[in-house]
Amino acid sequence: MNKRTQSIRSMFAGQSDGADAGEQKRPTLSRVTSGAVRSLKDTFSDVEREYEALRAQLATGQVAIEIDPALIDPSPLADRFVEQDAATFDALKTSISERGQEIPVLVRQHPTIAGRFQSAYGHRRVRAARELGLPVKAYLRPLSDEDLVVAQGLENSAREDLSFIERAVFAARLEDAGFQRALIQTALSVDRAEVSKLIAVSRALSREIVDAIGRAPKIGRGRWQALADALKTPGASVRVAAAMASAKLGTKATDDRFIAVLSAANAVEEDKVPASSMSVVSLSGEEIGKVSMTSAQWRLSVNRAKNDGFAGYLAAKLPALYDAYREAEQAGKDGAEH
């Protein structure tokens, strides 16, 4: 057998003729089973499905993302007055700084400015994050103008912390923006009659008066309506304007500013303004007493002929009740929405 033939045979045998003695054979690759291929394919399919599910959640705003708060503008239809309780806002900032933002805000893409957003709710959280230099956790959803105002109203209705006048001004703003009253009812979770009352009171008061008074969370519709009626009397507007121009008004708390303005409208001294009152009734329907509010204090009156023993019992329990209230109040601040 000649040398050429030997070389050819060696090639088919997997070893070249004349190969170095120290050269090692190439390792033989083991055959991959069809089951392993299927397993790998299934793994890729699962990852792909999870990715598509995540994309769908992001597209519908079900997963929170982080956004630079400098890119978020407030809703064009504000439902709250400018923050007047600095202590409450400072507590929110402290909470976010120490524990992070636990509840995302809701935003949409800005309808006219590319790269910016508008918030439906969570304005205070956005402001707090901006001042802390932190990104905002947000749900990004495609919201129409109607969706936006309904989301605003429903979120605040659930929290029940909008005062009467804030709700009244918000309702009037929505109507001025062209929204139908049926949608305003949905946004505020009230019936048609209540929407009419809210809007009527708001339109009866100038924005200057409302801004001077503020949220007045303890003042309900009846007293705001009383102010609107008092402003119709001769000279009331002049007296109210003088009261609002007084430096003394700015030193008062928001509820007391209402009392001062109402006093001026009625041309009476503040401490003589009729106090709002309500009956306190037991679960069985028996009247326990009455609670009334003046510009300076709350008063609880108990009929001694009926409940003299209870009055003494209540007085003895007041220290413990007050401590329990303070603890609950602090716990509420610590767990406040942010």
Q: How would you write the pLDDT of the chain (338 residues) with one tens digit per residue?
A: 555 555 545 544 544 444 444 444 555 545 656 665 555 555 545 555 554 554 554 455 468 899 999 999 988 887 777 655 667 788 889 999 999 998 899 999 999 999 999 998 888 899 999 999 999 999 999 999 989 888 887 776 655 567 899 999 999 999 998 999 999 998 888 899 999 999 999 999 999 999 999 989 889 888 999 999 999 999 999 999 999 998 888 888 888 999 999 999 988 766 555 555 666 767 776 778 777 666 556 677 888 778 878 888 888 888 888 888 888 777 665 655 55
- Taking the CA atoms of 182, 184, 187 and 190 in sequence, report the sign of the dihedral they define: negative
Rounded CA-CA distance 175/198 in Å is: 11
The per-residue pLDDT for 131 is 94
The per-residue pLDDT for 27 is 52
Query: Which residues, including other chains, have CB under 8 Å from residue 19's CB and lie 6 or more apart?
Result: none
The per-residue pLDDT for 35 is 60
pTM: 0.59
CA 226 to each of CA 88, 89, 188, 267, 274: distance values in angstroms, whole numbers, following the listed order: 30, 31, 23, 13, 11
The per-residue pLDDT for 22 is 46
Rounded CA-CA distance 76/197 in Å is: 23
Q: Provide, for the chain, the percentages of residues in helix, strand and coil under a 3-state DSSP scheme, each rounded to the nearest 5.
A: 55, 10, 35
DSSP element (H, E) containing 290: strand 287-293
